[in-house]
Amino acid sequence: MAYGFPTRFYGALGFKITSPFGPRTDPFNPGSADFHTGIDYGGRPAGVPVPATIGGTVFAAKSYQGWGNLVGVRDWQNYNHLFAHLRTLLVVPGQTVARGNPVGTLGSTGKATGPHLHYQINRPGTGVNGSGYFGDPDLYFFPEEEVKMESAIVLGSDVDYASAAPLGDALNCPFFSRSALGQLRAVKTVYVCGGSLAPVREAAPEAKLVDLSGTNRFETAAKIYEYLKSSTRRLVVRG
Ligand SMILES: [Zn+2]
pLDDT in tens, 7-34: 999 999 999 999 999 988 888 888 888 8
Contact 176, 3 (CB under 8 A): yes
Helix (H), strand (E), coil (C) string for 194-220: CCCCHHHHHHCCCCEEEECCCCCHHHH
Give tens-digit pLDDT for 182-198: 778 778 999 999 999 99
Q: What is the whole-number distance in angstroms between the Cα of residue 36 and the centre of ligand 1?
A: 6
Centre of ligand 1 from the C-alpha of residue 217, in Å: 33
Residues with CB under 5 A from ligand 1 (ion): 40, 118
Task: Examine the pLDDT at 159 and tell me if it is beyond 80.
Answer: yes
Question: For the chain, how big is the Rg over CA atoms in Å?
Answer: 19
- Backbone φ and ψ of 223, nearest 5°: -65, -40
User: How far is the centre of ligand 1, averaged over its atoms, from the C-alpha of 161 (Å)?
Assistant: 25
Task: Measure 41 CA to ligand 1 centroid, in angstroms.
Answer: 8
Distance 173 CA to ligand 1 centre (A): 27
Instruction: Domain 5-139: state its class.
Output: mainly beta
Distance of CA 60 from the midpoint of ligand 1 (Å): 18
According to DSSP, the β-strands at 117-122 and 39-42 are antiparallel
CA of 228 to the centre of ligand 1 (A): 38
Identify the CA nearest to 159 among candidates 208, 217, 214: 217
**pLDDT computed for residue 166 by the predictor:** 92
pLDDT for res 226: 94
Confidence of residue 169 (pLDDT cuts 50, 70, 90): confident
Helix H or strand E segment including 69: strand 69-74
Ligand 1 midpoint to CA 77 (Å): 23
Q: Classify each residue of 97-131 as buried b or exposed e, where b means 16 or more C-beta atoms within 10 Å of its C-beta.
A: bebebbbbbbbbbbebeebbbbbbbbbeebebebe
- Measured in Å, residue 206 CA sits from the centre of ligand 1 at 37
Helix-then-strand count for the chain, H and E: 5, 15
Model's pTM, two decimal places? 0.63
Fold assignment, 149-238: Rossmann fold (3.40.50)
CA neighbours within 13 Å on the CB side: how many for 143? 5
* Parts of the chain belonging to CATH 3.40.50.12090: 149-238
Q: How far is the CA of 29 from the centre of ligand 1 (A)?
A: 15
Q: CATH 2.70.70.10 spans which residues of the chain?
A: 5-139
Mean pLDDT of the chain: 90
How many A from CA of 92 to the centre of ligand 1?
Answer: 23
Q: What is the pLDDT of residue 180?
A: 77
Kindly list the distances between the CA atom of residue 106 and the CA atoms of 45, 51, 74, 140, in Å, as whole numbers in the listed order.
Answer: 7, 10, 20, 23
Cα torsion angle, 184, 185, 191, 194, sign: positive
CA of 204 to the centre of ligand 1 (A): 32
Each residue's pLDDT tens digit, 129-139: 989 999 999 98
Per-residue model confidence (pLDDT) at position 191: 97
